[in-house]
Amino acid sequence: MEETKKKYVMKPLEEMNVIDDFLFTEIMADEKNGLEVCRMILSCVLKRKVGNISFTAQKTVPGVSEGSHGIRLDAYVTERRSDCGVGEYDISVYDVEPDKCAEKKADLPRRSRYYGDLIDVQLLERNTGYDKLPELVTIFILSYDPFGEDAMYYEAGSELKTHPGIEYDDGIRRIFLYVGGKLSEQADGAERQLKNLLVYINDSTAENATDDNTRKLDAIVRSTKARKGIGIKYMKSWERERFLKEIGREEGRAEGRAEGREEGIELGSSYHLIMLIKRKIEKNEPLELIADELETTADEIRPFYDAIIKNPALEPSELLSTL
């Protein structure tokens, strides 16, 4: 029986949303925009003004020993909570993680636990008291409902189960935000502001920019999508992700197929490059400008450019056969 191959479809850059990994990463890559977005998300979630913050995008945290599982944090944020000094006790730490992997929903509580544990290992230096361990808040922004209650906001924390009236404060908060969750009838203004932000993060269109926060975020999204060279960067990123998925699918098969897999990726890259150049030619952009926007040289893309000019009616797949 012939095996059915899964088809990976490349979403146009123009249709990408903040919750998509590539766009969120690119927003965070700009320090000014990254700080603004982190401050916006934290202020809405915590329902207070956020003070002096700094952040690291795509922070890699190694495992506790060689061979242990490491993690990558989408946005690792620290906040100075007071003016008492620079000691660790003045700091709160936040991890912001957009996530669309609904198929791994069951793993989410343990994933959150592991993330928190590895972050804590990095925070407490040798000979430092446990009272200096900062407050840690992990915030998952999810395209799926993690607990099936159709709520916008879920929060998990530690408790003394045998004596629930006694506070058990270990400094950890785990917050799960479902972008499609409903507001309660008693929702206050801050909760409605958070809802507006989540709607925009999930569907980043001008129509969903309905308040000051989302209008600011929309401006950041538009400027990020218009950034020089981002189109070709997105194409390469998508091809890399597709290749990694294909490797997973092909695991255990004959090694002789590896060469064909590489050729397929190369053809896929050429296909999407032709598609990008074709769109720009349709806007009457000259070769030099197209090359500049794609952050390459005119000589590098000239064969594709000439083929499109010579056969403007052909589809990208048909143009590939002419090269």
> Which residue range is the domain that position 288 belongs to?
230-320
Report for 71-75, 105-109, 258-262, 313-317: range of highest mean pLDDT:
105-109
Q: Which of 225, 253, 270 is the last residue of a domain?
A: 225
Does residue 3 form part of some domain? no
What would the mean pLDDT of 78-106 be, rounded to a whole number?
A: 78
Look up residue 317 and give its two tokens.
């797949």
| 308 shares a domain with 166 | no
What would the mean pLDDT of 79-101 be, rounded to a whole number?
A: 74
What would the mean pLDDT of 78-83 be, rounded to a whole number?
A: 75
pLDDT per residue as tens digits for the range 123-152: 888 888 888 889 999 999 999 999 999 999
Instruction: Quote the mean pLDDT of the chain.
Output: 83
240-244, 283-287, 304-308, range with the lowest pLDDT = 240-244
| Number of structural domains in the chain | 2
| 266 has a pLDDT exceeding 80 | no
Does residue 150 form part of some domain? yes
| 53 has a pLDDT exceeding 60 | yes
Closest Cα partner for 138 from 109, 101, 168? 109
41-50, 63-72, 168-177, 199-208, range with the lowest pLDDT = 63-72
> Most distant CA pair in the chain: distance in Å?
78
| 246 shares a domain with 114 | no
What percent of the chain is modeled with pLDDT above 90? 48
What phi and psi values does residue 137 have, to the nearest 5 degrees? -125, 120
Q: Is the dihedral of CA 26, 32, 35, 36 positive or negative?
A: negative
Closest Cα partner for 113 from 173, 167, 63? 173
Does residue 71 form part of some domain? yes
Does residue 143 form part of some domain? yes
| 309 shares a domain with 188 | no
pLDDT per residue as tens digits for the range 190-244: 999 999 999 999 999 999 999 999 999 999 999 999 998 888 888 877 776 666 5
pLDDT at 82: 63
